[in-house]
Every structure is written in C-alpha cells, then in structure tokens.
Amino acid sequence: MFDSHPIISPKSDVWIIALGWLIFPLFYFSSISFWDSSRVFKALLLVTLAINFMHRNITMLFAYGDPDEFLYRRRRYIILPIFFALLTGSILYFSPGNFKILATISVLWTIYHVVMQKVGLLRIYTKKKDATTGASLDKGLIWFSFTTLVFKIASLDSTYVLLRNYGHTARLLIDAFTPIRQSLPIISNLLAFLLICYIVYYFLYSYQAKLWSRERMIFLISYLTLLAFFFVDFLAAYAFFSLSHSLEYLALSKHIGAKKGSQQKKLNSPIAVFSRNPRSWFIFYLLFTGALLLIWKDLSNPTLYKFIVGSSFLHFLYDGWLWKLRKPRVAAELELRK
C-alpha cells in the first residue's frame, strides 16, 4: 500500500529506529510475574543508562573527529567544555545545594531534546518524499501529542503521589501544575479531543499529499504507542522514552558517520578511520563505553552522576549544530530532496 523511503534501510528503520525500544517493555511486563519487579526495573534502568551514556558521548566523535566540523566551530568546541567543567565544579565547590538547579535544567532540556529528535526524524521521512511540504504539521503533531500527554498525566491524582518521591525536578513539576490542578481534567479532555481531530486531519493531508511511506507510518505509530505507555507505568515509560531516543541517535550516528568519513579528504581523521569499517568500530565503541560506565558506576556513582549532568549540555548544543537538516551537507548525507 505504501512505498519505501527509509533513512538507513527498511530493516534498520523499522526494527531499530521505530521499534527497537519495544524489546524492553515486552521483557519488562512479561517478566515481572516471574521475578521481583523492583529488580527487573533496576536492571532496565541500568541498561537504559548504559545506552544513553553511549549515545551522548558519540557526539564527540562528530565534533572533534571531523576536521571540517571542528574548524567551523573551533572556538566554541574548545571553550565550551572548559566553561561547563568550571561551571559544574564551581557549583559543587561553592554551593553544592544548588547543583539540583543544574540537574533540573538538564532534565527539562533532555525532554525538549528528545521530543525535537522525534520532530527531526519525522521531518526526514517527509523530506524523503517532498522537500517543502508539511514541516509545521510534523512539528505540530509531535508536540501536540506530547503536550496532551503531559496535561492528561498531570490531571491524575496518582501522578502526584508518585512524583513526590522522586527528587527536586519532580516536585517542581508538581508546583507548576498546582495552581490549575482543579481545571486540569477539563483542559486535558479538551486537548485530547483536539488532538484526535488534528491526527485525523494530519493523516488525511499526508495521504492526499502522498507523503506516506511504510517507515514513516510505523515510526508515527511507534511514537504514539510510546506515549500511551505513560498510562501503564509512568517511570518505566520514561525509561522507554529515553531508550528510544538513544537507539535512534546511535543508529543515525553510525549511518552518517560511515558516509561523512568516506567524503573526507584528510584520510587520517578519526571520522575517516571510523568510516572504513564502521560496524567493527561501532561495536568497539559500544563495548568500551559500556565497560567504562559500569566501572565508573561501581567506583564512584556520585561523580558519574555529576559528569553526566555537567556534560549533558555539551551533547544538547553539539547535537543541535551537527544535525541541522537545512545544512546542505547533512541533507546530502541523508539523501533528502532539495
């Protein structure tokens, strides 16, 4: 019924980008009746943390291993790591109690970062079919559905009971919704109705504009399914959400890294070396970062947490610079229509 316009390949797009995260909920919900659910959840969080750690640090390969990219933003790539190291260290030394502010900003920026990657992937699928159609509609669908979820979850009393036990950021979310808590059921139901109307319009418009492909359809269904899991198990769904983002990013990084390095004139650059045998180097990277995380976590979990928070801003900024679809080089690497 729909043709195929994958980002990487039909199998990679479906089984890694769209559906890769589903292996965890399938394992989690099928295993809790056989094992202690708390242990299963802790194991799930550890694996999710490991994959997240891998995805955030591979950004450095594209910033510092690509000579063209590094020279383009050399000053920022040199100054920013020093700045964030000094900022994190200063807060920890002079005012450790305020480190929670940095952690809160990191969490909120992470959520924005993850949702915007969903927007970016949907835009790639759309641009595979048509270069100019549906940009605002794509962004609207991803953000409208996410916003509706937030208000719907915020309208449930069980959410507040859960969040009170989970740190400063969770309590900030409670405070943000408290003034309108009585109105939340009405607001959330109205948003849900409008979202259904929007989805119907979006699907009809995409069909008439001939924007559908198999991979695009499966990706959208996967995203909406991912949001639905928040009504089943809030904390597990948050882990699934993070996992889906990391798997998407790792798959896209391997694909673009292979193409980017093969076009380098300086054949001794790290990105060029990676491109000669991307599968082997990618597997080595995953094993190395996974082992590093486990060793670091065992030696000093507090310092690992501080490193992740402090370095997260580098990943957010670098990621935004590296993967802009309007950049001709990125568009060419992803074989997008002009």
pLDDT at 178: 81
What pLDDT sits at residue 194? 97
Q: Is residue 179 part of a domain?
A: no
- pLDDT 10s digits, 227-256: 999 988 888 888 899 999 999 999 999 998
Q: What angle do CA 246, 252, 257 make, to 5 degrees?
A: 120
Q: How many domains does the chain have?
A: 1
**Structural domain of 300:** 10-95+234-333
Mean pLDDT of 153-174: 77
User: Given pLDDT bands bounded at 50, 70 and 90, which one contains residue 167?
Assistant: low
Query: Does 254 reside within a domain?
Result: yes
The candidate with the shortest Cα–Cα distance to 252, out of 143, 311, 333, is 333
Query: Rounded to whole angstroms, how far apart are CA atoms 303 and 290?
Result: 17
pTM (2 d.p.) = 0.91
Q: Is 25 domain-assigned?
A: yes
Q: What's the confidence (pLDDT) of residue 335?
A: 80
Tell me how far apart the alpha carbons of residues 138 and 135 are, in angstroms, rounded to a whole number: 5
Using the CB atoms, write b or e for 286-314: b if 16+ within 10 Å: beebeeebeeebeeeeeebebebbbbbbb
Which residues does 64 contact at the CB level (< 8 Å), separation at least 6?
Answer: 70, 77, 270
3 three-state secondary structure: strand
Task: Read off the pLDDT band of 293 (50, 70, 90).
Answer: very high
- Residue 101 inside a domain? The answer is no
Plot region of 216 (φ>0 → left; ψ -120 to 50 → alpha; else → beta): alpha
- Span 190-212, average pLDDT: 91
Pick from 45-59, 157-171, 244-258, 289-303: least confident: 157-171
Q: Residue 110 has what pLDDT?
A: 92
Using DSSP, state whether 213 is helix, strand or coil: strand
DSSP structure string for 243-288: HHHHHHHHHHHHHHHHHHHHT-S-TTSHHHHHHHSHHHHHHHHHHH
Distance between start and end Cα atoms, the chain: 26
Identify whether the C-beta of residue 228 lies closer than 8 Å to the C-beta of residue 195: no
